[in-house]
């Protein structure tokens, strides 16, 4: 018989449920708090409680398995402290300065808490790896990261301290680095498939990270800060900022209503007016779509004004204040015009600057840009500018028949091919082969780069998965009105046995043992806990729904009457009464569907 102390029991765990009442409208983060997974310490900073820690550990182990078994990556643990001088050398210190926690030691040496570790890992490899024979190299870590978010929100989705997995890859040639990139993408697909999450892999911008090839791994949810477009006919999936929007070449009538969205640069020196059509109706027999400021595509505007601060509500007031301050340097005005708008608007803007705020006499301002000078501002293609965001039902730019589905999503992971973005400034070089046959297999650019005698820069990739973000995203995505609803792969416990008041402890242990005996290939993530807390059966059932156990086995009235158990799976809508001898097979069947 299974010994009593060897069974997992909720009475032996600090589970802080039952102390916080639920509100009428409750998001996933609120349920995480109420179910006892975490508590907030400070804005954007959270303590993980035992249930939350179990989810975190399971997520880490799952990711670790695919890093080591799938990619043969070695795990390291880099310091959370990085030198500001290293970030200055890479060129990133100023570009991300506002998000860094910076400090100095007693010797006045400047450091920061790392939000990411490209500089540190590159520096480490530069001091250690010298020959192409030591490549390819794949190193990963799962560690805490820090980012001084201006406005932490949505709990674990946008925090100041977070757990992240970083994989850094090092190759001697571009071709081998791209092969590695595809292998990592395959591993990421397997990770999210094992979690049973409907993650979309979307082509994305590399941003401040560097490089020209990257993919985001996005979980569709209403709370998402990204928008992803996918085709219903082909495999076209991209982040909104990378969508190849149709060229704005069809002129609209002179009577087309026009809207203007205003933004400002981060240094407050440039006011940006974005002129867009408030409707896309071209003829009387055509359906129209109405647009507002919310439909302006900020990503497109940033191709014209990279330093745009899109989060400002009253850009005009800030710009007028900057105009009055002579010490801030010259101020300017930029008009960005949708290419479909009437030519009369373009002419007006060229001569009179309509609706622009007044500035002091004599101020040297940038002449408003005409479509002729901004139509190619979409740096991804030479075509007139389309300043409006894509919408559901827009045509796919890749295939003939496909229509786009646009949905909000949360980023759970990101893969980047960095090239030599960090290895070059941080001098992470390796020697090349010396034989002619070996040289033939090396990229021509690398051969030329080795003429200096210092070797060639290593080709790098960096690939992240947000461990704590997955916890918050899954809670948000799968929660319902009753509570959380975890995938079996990362649930705190995948099955809970709940004995009623009249069921004995030996009965609960027997069922516990029978479920454990069901373990096999189809139940890889099976782990069981007994809820032996001194609470009523209705309280325990309600709590099991709140915590989100994938499978619930109840020893209630049917157990007393006929030694049968009730098995529940909220995700699959299963609530059935079965005999004990049926339990292992039923468990395996349910797990194959979860």
Range of weakest confidence among 172-186, 225-239, 467-481: 225-239
Range of weakest confidence among 204-208, 481-485, 581-585: 204-208
What would the pLDDT profile of 278-301 be if each residue is shown by its tens digit? 887 655 555 567 888 888 888 888
The alpha carbon torsion through 358, 359, 360, 364 (nearest 10 deg) reads -140
Is residue 462 predicted with pLDDT exceeding 70?
yes
Is residue 273 predicted with pLDDT exceeding 80?
yes
Is residue 547 predicted with pLDDT exceeding 50?
yes
Is residue 517 predicted with pLDDT exceeding 50?
yes
Is residue 103 predicted with pLDDT exceeding 80?
yes
Please provide the average confidence, as pLDDT, over all residues in the chain. 84
Kindly state the percentage of the chain with pLDDT values over 90: 53
Look at residue 423 in the predicted model and tell me its pLDDT: 95
Q: What is the mean pLDDT of residues 370-388?
A: 51
pLDDT band at 307 (very low <50, low <70, confident <90, very high): confident
Is residue 415 predicted with pLDDT exceeding 70?
yes
Q: Topology of 4-14+483-593 in CATH?
A: Rossmann fold (3.40.50)
Strand 459-466 relative to strand 495-499, pairing: unpaired
**What is the DSSP secondary structure assignment for residue 134, as one 8-state letter?**
G
Look at residue 375 in the predicted model and tell me its pLDDT: 34
**Helix, strand or coil for residue 279?**
strand
Look at residue 51 in the predicted model and tell me its pLDDT: 97
Look at residue 288 in the predicted model and tell me its pLDDT: 66
Which of residues 2 and 548 earns the better pLDDT score?
548
Which of residues 351 and 321 earns the better pLDDT score?
321
Is residue 326 predicted with pLDDT exceeding 60?
no
Range of weakest confidence among 103-107, 309-313, 531-535: 309-313
Nearest to 231 by CA among 256, 254, 203: 203
Which of residues 519 and 370 earns the better pLDDT score?
519
CA contacts within 13 A on the Cβ side of 412: 27
Q: What is the mean pLDDT of residues 434-438?
A: 52
**CA–CA separation, 179 vs 213, rounded Å?**
13
Kindly report the three-state secondary structure assignment for every residue of 317-375. Answer: HHHHHHHHCHHHCCCEEEEEECCCCCHHHHHHHHHCCCCCCCCCCCCCCCCCCCHHHHC
**CA–CA separation, 497 vs 305, rounded Å?**
59
Is residue 439 predicted with pLDDT exceeding 50?
no
Look at residue 437 in the predicted model and tell me its pLDDT: 46
Q: E strands within 105-199?
A: 110-113, 137-146, 161-171
Is residue 446 predicted with pLDDT exceeding 70?
no
Outline which parts of the chain fall under CATH 3.40.50.800. Answer: 4-14+483-593
For 128, the enclosing helix (H) or strand (E) is: helix 118-128
Is residue 361 predicted with pLDDT exceeding 80?
no
Range of weakest confidence among 84-93, 276-285, 477-486: 276-285
- Averaging pLDDT over each range in 110-124, 307-321, 377-391, which range is the top one? 110-124
**Helix, strand or coil for residue 97?**
helix
Outline which parts of the chain fall under CATH 3.30.930.10. Answer: 56-80+115-243+406-469
Is residue 434 predicted with pLDDT exceeding 90?
no
Is residue 265 predicted with pLDDT exceeding 80?
yes
Range of weakest confidence among 149-153, 457-461, 569-573: 149-153
Which of residues 330 and 504 earns the better pLDDT score?
504
Is residue 540 predicted with pLDDT exceeding 90?
yes
Look at residue 488 in the predicted model and tell me its pLDDT: 94
Look at residue 376 in the predicted model and tell me its pLDDT: 34
Beta bridge partners of 69: none
Q: What is the mean pLDDT of residues 564-588?
A: 93
Q: Topology of 56-80+115-243+406-469 in CATH?
A: BirA Bifunctional Protein; domain 2 (3.30.930)
Q: What is the mean pLDDT of residues 552-573?
A: 93
Range of weakest confidence among 25-34, 130-139, 203-212, 459-468: 203-212
Q: What is the mean pLDDT of residues 526-555?
A: 94
Look at residue 340 in the predicted model and tell me its pLDDT: 76
- Classify residue 320 as exposed, middle or buried by CB count within 10 Å of its CB (0-12, 13-18, 19+): middle
Look at residue 2 in the predicted model and tell me its pLDDT: 46
**CA–CA separation, 259 vs 355, rounded Å?**
11
**CA–CA separation, 421 vs 208, rounded Å?**
11
Range of weakest confidence among 8-12, 276-280, 309-313, 354-358: 354-358
Is residue 94 predicted with pLDDT exceeding 70?
yes
pLDDT band at 262 (very low <50, low <70, confident <90, very high): confident
């Amino acid at each position: 018989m299974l010994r009593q102390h060897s069974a997992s029991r909720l009475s032996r765990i600090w589970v802080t449920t039952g102390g916080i009442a639920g509100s009428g409208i409750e998001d996933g983060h609120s349920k995480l708090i109420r179910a006892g997974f975490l508590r907030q310490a400070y804005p954007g900073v959270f303590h993980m409680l035992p249930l939350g820690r179990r989810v975190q550990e399971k997520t880490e182990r799952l990711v670790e398995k695919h890093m080591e078994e799938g990619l043969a990556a070695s795990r390291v643990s880099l310091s959370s402290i990085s030198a500001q001088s290293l970030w200055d050398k890479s060129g990133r210190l100023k570009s991300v300065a506002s998000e860094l926690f910076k400090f100095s030691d007693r010797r006045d040496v400047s450091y920061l808490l790392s939000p990411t570790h490209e500089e540190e890992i590159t520096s480490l490899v530069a001091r250690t790896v010298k020959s192409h024979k030591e490549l390819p190299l794949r190193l990963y870590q799962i560690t805490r990261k820090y980012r001084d978010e201006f406005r932490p929100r949505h709990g674990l989705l946008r925090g100041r301290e977070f757990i992240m997995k970083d994989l850094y890859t090092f190759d001697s040639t571009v071709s081998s680095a791209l092969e590695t990139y595809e292998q990592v993408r395959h591993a990421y697909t397997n990770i999210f498939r094992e979690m049973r999450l409907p993650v979309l892999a979307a082509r994305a911008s590399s941003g401040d990270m560097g490089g020209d090839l990257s993919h985001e791994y996005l979980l569709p949810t209403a709370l998402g800060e990204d928008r992803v477009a996918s085709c219903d006919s082909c495999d076209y999936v991209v982040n909104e900022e990378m969508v190849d929007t149709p060229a704005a070449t069809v002129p609209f009538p002179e009577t087309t209503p026009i809207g203007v969205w205003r933004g400002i640069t981060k240094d407050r020196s440039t006011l940006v007016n974005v002129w867009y059509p408030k409707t896309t109706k071209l003829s009387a027999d055509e359906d129209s779509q109405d647009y507002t400021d919310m439909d302006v595509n900020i990503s497109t505007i940033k191709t014209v004004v990279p330093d745009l601060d899109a989060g400002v509500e009253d850009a005009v007031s800030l710009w007028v204040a900057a105009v009055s301050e002579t010490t801030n340097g010259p101020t300017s005005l930029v008009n960005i015009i949708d290419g479909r708008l009437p030519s009369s608007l373009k002419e007006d803007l060229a001569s009179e600057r309509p609706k622009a705020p007044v500035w002091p006499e004599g101020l040297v301002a940038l002449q408003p840009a005409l479509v002729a000078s901004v139509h190619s501002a979409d740096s991804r293609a030479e075509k007139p500018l389309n300043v409006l965001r894509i919408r559901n039902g827009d045509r796919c730019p890749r295939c003939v028949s496909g229509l786009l589905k646009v949905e909000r999503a949360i980023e759970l992971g990101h893969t980047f091919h960095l090239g030599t973005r960090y290895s070059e400034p941080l001098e992470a070089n390796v020697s090349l082969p010396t034989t002619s046959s070996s040289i033939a297999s090396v990229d021509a650019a690398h051969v030329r780069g080795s003429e200096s005698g210092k070797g060639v820069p290593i080709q790098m990739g960096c690939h992240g998965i947000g461990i704590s973000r997955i916890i918050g995203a899954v809670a948000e995505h799968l929660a319902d009105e009753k509570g959380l609803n975890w995938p079996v792969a990362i649930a705190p416990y995948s099955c809970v046995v709940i004995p009623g008041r009249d069921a004995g402890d030996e009965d609960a242990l027997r069922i516990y043992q029978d479920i454990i005996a069901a373990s096999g290939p189809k139940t890889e993530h099976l782990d069981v806990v007994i809820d032996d807390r001194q609470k009523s059966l209705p309280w325990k059932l309600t709590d099991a729904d709140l915590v989100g156990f994938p499978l619930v086995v109840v020893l209630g009235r049917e157990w007393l009457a006929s030694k049968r158990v009730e098995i529940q799976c909220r995700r699959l809508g299963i609530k059935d009464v079965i005999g004990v001898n049926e339990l292992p097979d039923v468990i395996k069947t349910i797990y194959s569907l979860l």
